[in-house]
Amino acid sequence: MAGNNFMIPRLYIDVALEPDNGIILSVSQIHYLKNVLRLETGATILLFNGRDGEFAADLVEMKKRGGRAKVTAKTRDLTTEPDLQLAFAPVKRGPLEVIVQKAVEIGVSQLTPVITERTNAPKVNVDRLRTIAIEAAEQCGRLTIPHVDEPIKLDGLLTTWPEKRRLMFCDEAGDDENQTWGGREGRAQPALDALKAFDRKAQSWAVLTGPEGGFSNQERGALRDNAFVIPVTLGPRILRADTAAIAALTLWQAALGDWNQS
């Protein structure tokens, strides 16, 4: 928990942080602090860079062209999120941004847009997704920023997949008990039951969610051909793409991640 500090503005900044360092703040950061939050010179903010933990800093100068802060003290040691990747088919802008924002809050370490057969979304603006990821990290008290990958095709993702990394495959509306997939059991398990079978320690995981139209039968077969793929269901209703991503990450964090350390 960020505890009592959670109302103090937090900014991500990619520079070394230690007490007495002077920090240059960008035009947009100063705009945010001055015009949105109405802070004045002398106010305290919190800074983090993804590596060194969290630091308090005083606002020294605030001008239209940028400003300066001075680091005063370390407020928190670095904590990192579990090795949890969200691989997701991009959807239209609104739900796409919901996916990225919520995934960061729930606590992923990596976001990977995956192009599938039925992906039917505008070209992914990776810079925009990175900006949303940073804002979400600032807001939720994280001390790291998840990596946002360039989009990759599903077959490329599977071909280069590290064998020991598990992939929880959310096959919304795709469960067919009469079909076999690559010789493996056809029926997907409820996600929480599937996750309970795994150990909490030394894990490397990803969650895969599809586009609004779901995966094609060929994709579902190709996915289930891999021993690292764990097909799961997310209840009896058809979840939208963004809901499925949020729900699957929540269940992983609660069952195997950092949600039961608090």
Footprint on this chain of its own copies (rule: CB under 8 A): 1-3, 6, 79, 98, 101-102, 105-107, 139-142, 173, 175, 190-193, 233-240, 243, 246-247, 250-251, 253-255, 257-262
Compare residues 206 and 255 and give the one whose CB is closer to its own copies.
255
d(CA 192, CA 261): 18
- Minimum distance from residue 176 beta carbon to its own copies (Å): 9
Compare residues 208 and 251 and give the one whose CB is closer to its own copies.
251
Whether the CB-CB separation of 197 and 189 falls below 8 Å is answered with no
Residue 206, amino acid: A
DSSP strand E in 65-175: where? 66-76, 84-88, 110-115, 147-148, 152-153, 166-170
Compare residues 23 and 119 and give the one whose CB is closer to its own copies.
119
- Minimum distance from residue 87 beta carbon to its own copies (Å): 19
- Minimum distance from residue 147 beta carbon to its own copies (Å): 17
- Minimum distance from residue 36 beta carbon to its own copies (Å): 15
Whether the CB-CB separation of 57 and 71 falls below 8 Å is answered with yes
Compare residues 230 and 247 and give the one whose CB is closer to its own copies.
247
Length of the chain: 262
Compare residues 171 and 219 and give the one whose CB is closer to its own copies.
171
Whether the CB-CB separation of 59 and 33 falls below 8 Å is answered with yes
- Minimum distance from residue 148 beta carbon to its own copies (Å): 18
Is the torsion defined by CA of 221, 224, 230, 236 positive or negative? Answer: positive
Pick the closest to residue 192 from 249, 262, 260, 109 (CA basis). 249
